[in-house]
Chains A and B, each alone.
Chain A
Amino acid sequence: MTIARSPERGKAAAVAPWQEFHRRHVLDLDDFSSEEIEQVLTTAGAMSEVLGRRIRKVPTLRGRTIVTLFLEPSTRTRASFEQAGKVLSADVINLSGSESSVKKGESLVDTAKTLEALGADVLVMRHPMSGAPNLVARATGLRVVNAGDGWHAHPTQALLDLFTIRQRLGRVDRLTVLIVGDILHSRVARSNIWGLTKLGARVVLCGPPTLMPSQALAAFAAAGQRLSIEPDLEHAIPQADVIMTLRLQKERMDSGFLPSMREYAALYQINDQRLARAKPAALVMHPGPMNAGVEISHEVAHGPRSLVETQVTNGVAVRMAILYLLAATGEDA
């Protein structure tokens, strides 16, 4: 799908005032520069204006096809991408594991190649295996957006968290962000650590020692990143400008990482008593879906400090920005 370009237009590609987005894929934030993250956040700001209009529709991606392929359950992320594509006037096709040929044993790469042959421009995929989107990105000509792969990465969640923090607090730089919970299995935490530290925030991690990848984090911290581990939530909370709590997956009990939900809640739940020790302006975030009553209390989840719903709304704007920027990069980029 190469488009004809006039000679003038070809020359124009070198024009300085146009900020280029060189990326064909969004797989994780580890290889993003802070400038690229800023570009996404600025673009998302323009997109949030569109979402505030009476008629939420712009013609930007008319004639483009976006396929969402979710091989793991998800409601909000998938709906968020679908809404983002539709507001931009793209055609959106949703596929899930149960209804795609993956169920019949077709390999992931073959499925992706089929989608490419059908005319898909962007593939938004979620997969239980870490690195699956990287494989598809290498093996096909599709632009790939990782919507969560195994324990590895969930870059659009991190971007929407950055956008939300900046919208509320005016900056990310020099803030202290506390991430609480199952860091070991959390792709949200991983992508957020990259994004937050790249924009100059200090990240403090807190969680049960069995769910803390201490060695890997030590290596990360040694690389000069502003990252620390604070096992005691009571010590961690007063430092935080933002408290991000992660969903505790019930499977973790069965595999022996934790003795019980109740014990976890007693030590790590974000509730009103604990928030009383936080900075007065501290905010609470959660990537969802929440286990209210486990990692976060009902009162906090729906209280005045909670940004949970704002995160969902901003997710659409950030995903619009990603789809727009990927579509704006050329075939040969």
Chain B
Amino acid sequence: MPQKIILSADDIRRALVRIAHEVVERNRGVEHIVFVGILRRGVPIARRLAGHIHAFEGVDVPIGTLDIGLYRDDVQGRVGPLLHKTDIPFNVDGKGVILVDDVLFTGRSIRAAMDAVMDFGRPQAIQLAVLVDRGHRELPIRADYVGKSVPTARGEVVQVSVEEIDGRNEVVISTQDERRAAPDDGRRLGGAA
């Protein structure tokens, strides 16, 4: 099965540093923003963005974690994803909520995540940051911050590995790999590793 590394550990770091700067610039500071990482790999990415912002702004941006399992549009599949605890330890009213995920594919996860965030209050705005945008949207959703846009074939699989979960940092694209082909967007979602 042919595999290609599309982002190395250094590439990922540079992309996240850039996104962190863009977040600060776009929001004119970080006083009113919060990160919400989508489980599982959106969470460590959100932590790294917050770490970079802390390094150059000296401000700690609050981080929440979100399991979108309860908001999926395909609950009646054959599989029951393991549900993790959502933790939004702050009020989202009036905040700029920045959703963070590893891969943007069909957009269905993001639709679910937006519904979930809305259940916690009325944010002033919701923005989206992703490490990889691989195209093939099925909903009118776009990312505000993108690490890398990668043209892919539908059957290809984009696998993001992060140190915190997988022990290494890289993004790999491979052709049709059934083991990795999860519903919704071709990557693991709230499942046990």
| From B67, B75, B79, B120, contact of A12 by CB (8 A) | B79
Q: Quick check: A53 and B120 within 8 Å, CB to CB?
A: yes
Minimum C-beta distance from B166 to chain A (A): 12
Q: Quick check: B85 and A49 within 8 Å, CB to CB?
A: yes
Q: Quick check: A42 and B78 within 8 Å, CB to CB?
A: no
Given known pairs A12-B181, A55-B119, the reply for A49 and B87 (CB within 8 Å) is: yes
Main secondary structure of the interface of B (DSSP, over half): loop
How many residues from B make CB contacts under 8 Å with A? 35
| From A13, A16, A20, A60, contact of B70 by CB (8 A) | A60
Task: Find the A residue at minimum CB distance from B118.
Answer: A55
In whole angstroms, what is the CA distance A325 to B70 when docked? 11
A59: interface (CB < 8 Å): yes
Interface centre among A11, A17, A88 (most CB of B within 10 A): A17
In whole angstroms, what is the CA distance A50 to B66 when docked? 12
Q: Give every chain B residue within 8 A of A60 (Cβ-Cβ).
A: 69-72, 75
In whole angstroms, what is the CA distance A50 to B84 when docked? 11
Q: Give every chain B residue within 8 A of A57 (Cβ-Cβ).
A: 119
Among A130-163, those with CB < 8 Å from B are none
Per-position contact with A for B162-193: 1 when CB-CB < 8 Å, else 0? 00000000000000001111110000100111
Q: Quick check: A42 and B119 within 8 Å, CB to CB?
A: no
In whole angstroms, what is the CA distance A329 to B191 when docked? 15
Q: Quick check: B79 and A15 within 8 Å, CB to CB?
A: yes
| Contact surface of B with A, Cβ cutoff 8 Å | 67, 69-72, 74-87, 115-116, 119-121, 155, 178-183, 188, 191-193
| Nearest 8 interchain pairs by C-beta | A17-B191, A328-B80, A330-B78, A21-B80, A46-B83, A58-B70, A18-B79, A13-B78
26 A-B interface contacts by CB (under 8 A): A5-B78, A8-B155, A8-B181, A12-B79, A12-B182, A13-B78, A14-B179, A15-B79, A15-B179, A15-B180, A16-B179, A17-B193, A18-B80, A43-B83, A46-B67, A46-B69, A58-B71, A59-B71, A60-B69, A324-B80, A328-B75, A328-B77, A328-B79, A328-B81, A332-B78, A333-B78
Q: A18-B191, A327-B75 are in contact. List 11 more A-B contacts (CB 8 A).
A: A8-B155, A9-B74, A15-B182, A17-B193, A43-B82, A45-B85, A46-B86, A50-B86, A58-B70, A328-B76, A330-B76
